[in-house]
Amino acid sequence: MILYHNPASPFVRKVRMLLAETGQTASVDLKSAVGTPTDSGTLPLAENPLGKIPCLVRNDGPALYDSRVICRYLDTQHTGAPLYPGAPRLWDTLVLEATADGIMDAAVLMIYEGRTRPEDRRHAPWVEAQWAKVTRGLDALEGRWMAHLRGPLDMGQLAVAAALGYLDFRHADRDWRSGRPALAAWEEEFRARPSVQSTIPEG
């Protein structure tokens, strides 16, 4: 299989952490893809008409996208404990993953605003509205999700780790840890996992 990727993408990182946790890293060849909403660059448009990564090209079927679809598929391709558990925990796992994905969406859009718009057309209130989404998501993690985060490994935890790593990577000046001691402590411990260490974003 081929995974179109960029090492800076938190959504790609989610997939790569799952591959590492489930022993599937060697089953996927990484193919670099670079682009933005205003310049498709080398993004896999033929495989994903939306022009986004990650995109997984399978040997026996059409390409898969987005990251949640890819992760669900890859979780069916190994024999270990599933990262998407059975109900009723499944629903919490999916909501936690969706929360992390929303944090990543907003954080990425903040970067695009600075990189793709001319300086005189950037809209600071819009950027701050995106950060407000991030902070609400972080507050929900701190106030609602710590018991789940400390529980058995699942995809929700990997998604949160990817989201927090991206905030450190692109928005370190915003100091997401301030006022969230439980989440900060969890992240510090979880960061030691080999799947997290081997997928640290760059670029």
Token representation of residue 194 = 């080999």
Q: Per-residue pLDDT tens for 146-156?
A: 999 999 999 99
Please give the tally of structural domains in the chain: 2
- 70 and 93 assigned to the same domain: no
Integer CA distances (angstroms), 48 to 13, 104, 162, 166, in order: 18, 20, 22, 23
pTM of the model: 0.96
Which residues have a Cβ under 8 Å from the Cβ of 192 and sit 6 or more positions away?
Answer: none
Asked if residue 127 belongs to a domain, the reply is yes
Q: Per-residue pLDDT tens for 64-119?
A: 999 999 999 999 999 999 999 999 999 999 999 999 999 999 999 999 988 888 88
Q: Which burial class, exposed, middle or buried, applies to 162 when counting CB atoms under 10 A from its CB (0-12, 13-18, 19+)? A: buried
Q: Can you list the alpha helix ranges (DSSP code H) found in 22-123?
A: 67-75, 89-116
Out of 51, 75, 99, a domain closes at 75
Alpha carbon 33 to its chain centroid, in Å, reads 16
Asked if residue 84 belongs to a domain, the reply is no
What's the confidence (pLDDT) of residue 48?
97
Asked if residue 81 belongs to a domain, the reply is no
The length of the chain is 203
What's the confidence (pLDDT) of residue 10?
98
Phi and psi at residue 154, in whole multiples of 5°? -150, 180
Task: Compute the distance between CA of residue 49 and CA of residue 166 in angstroms, rounded to an integer.
Answer: 25
What's the confidence (pLDDT) of residue 134?
98
What's the confidence (pLDDT) of residue 195?
98
Residues 171-176: what's their mean pLDDT? Answer: 97
What's the confidence (pLDDT) of residue 201?
93
Out of 75, 106, 134, a domain closes at 75
- What CATH number has the domain bearing residue 12? 3.40.30.10
Integer CA distances (angstroms), 98 to 4, 92, 141, in order: 22, 10, 12
Instruction: Say if CB 48 and CB 65 are below 8 A apart.
Output: yes
- What CATH number has the domain bearing residue 166? 1.20.1050.10
- Full residue range of the structural domain in which residue 7 is found: 2-75
Q: Under DSSP, is residue 181 helix (H, G, I), strand (E, B) or coil?
A: helix
Asked if residue 6 belongs to a domain, the reply is yes
What's the confidence (pLDDT) of residue 101?
98
Asked if residue 24 belongs to a domain, the reply is yes
pLDDT at 131 over 80: yes
What's the confidence (pLDDT) of residue 145?
98
